[in-house]
Amino acid sequence: MTDSAVWTRVGSLVRLNTTLLLREPGPVISRLLMPLILIAVLHPLYRAALSGSGAAAGTTQIVAGMLVMFSLLALSIVGSAILTERVWRTWDRLRVTPAAAWELIAGKVVPSFVILVLQQVLILAFGALLFGLPVRDILLLAAAVGLWVVTLLCIGTALGTLARSHSELAVLYDIGGLALTVLGGALVPLSLMPDWARMAAPLSPGYWAMSAFRYALEGDVTAMMRANGVLLSLAVVFGAVASWRIRRGWGRSHLL
């Protein structure tokens, strides 16, 4: 089997799943536009509230916070793409084709990867161009974006293989995403949160994402790599869970 045939199949799957996403663009559009609206509206409030922490503290908090919040909510896009195959019971049909399992997964995650990267680039560019978000090293920031997107894809894929229905998945990414956002310090700085919340914060992927983005914006390579190391570990764990579920044959029934 030639490499060209493999990539032709992957390309076809990517185009198919992109088409499916674009047929229902509402969730994608909301995840792209809502953070921009909230940044524009809330930026003066955050800047005034955090003025004592530095000139750019409020801008960094609101931009990074909205980025983390809406990227966690965007798990719905990743998880729904996987869960839909289970509900439709089309995964087993796809598996009898010449396409390998990794090709099928790539066809699912590549469109979501593009959307998540676009979302984060759009938010960061919006913050930098309109509100003066300080960016010292664009390559460092790109590394933080890339690893956070990979972590989100692994978490979203795992949730898509574990959830038994779309309503259950909605609970996971709505309530779970908001809880992880708050605990991660994306809405309110950790310094203003109660002691129990500060102690629980490192349990949230959002905490490490906020740390990675903040250190990347400050140009602190060592601290950013430490936060990225935790995100990479989370990606490996959730990726392993997703792989285990896929090997069990999660396409056979959405009730398993």
What three-state secondary structure class fits 220?
coil
Please report the DSSP string for 149-163 in residue order.
HHHHHHHHHHHHHH-
Phi–psi pair at 253, nearest 5 degrees: -160, 135
Tens digit of each residue's pLDDT, the chain (256 residues): 566 777 777 777 788 778 877 787 887 888 889 999 999 999 999 999 888 777 688 999 999 999 999 998 887 777 777 777 777 776 666 666 666 666 777 777 888 889 999 999 999 999 999 999 999 889 999 999 999 999 999 998 888 888 877 788 778 777 888 888 899 999 888 888 899 999 999 999 999 999 999 999 998 999 999 999 999 999 999 988 887 877 666 544 444 4
* Per-residue pLDDT at 46: 92
Asked if residues 207 and 201 have their Cβ atoms less than 8 Å apart, the reply is yes
Using CA atoms, how far residue 47 sits from 59, 128, 214, 236, in Å, is 6, 14, 16, 36
For residue 32, give both structure tokens: 């792209």
pLDDT value at position 254?
44
| Measured distance CA(212)–CA(145) in Å, rounded | 9
145 vs 148: CA distance, rounded Å: 5
Domain ranges (residues) in the chain: 3-248
How many CA within 13 A on the CB side of residue 78? Answer: 31
Q: What is the pLDDT of residue 165?
A: 79
What's the token pair of residue 72? 């966690």
Return the pLDDT at 122.
Answer: 95
User: What single-letter amino acid sits at 211?
Assistant: S
Q: For residue 55, give the H/E element and its range.
A: none
User: What pLDDT, on the 0 to 100 scale, is given for residue 98?
Assistant: 66
Burial 93-116 (b: 16+ CB within 10 A, else e): eeeeeebeeebbbbbbbbbbbebb
pLDDT for 176 equals 84
Q: How far apart are CA 109 and CA 157, in angstroms?
A: 8
Give the span between the Cα atoms of 207 and 154, in whole angstroms.
17
Q: What pLDDT score was predicted for residue 255? A: 44
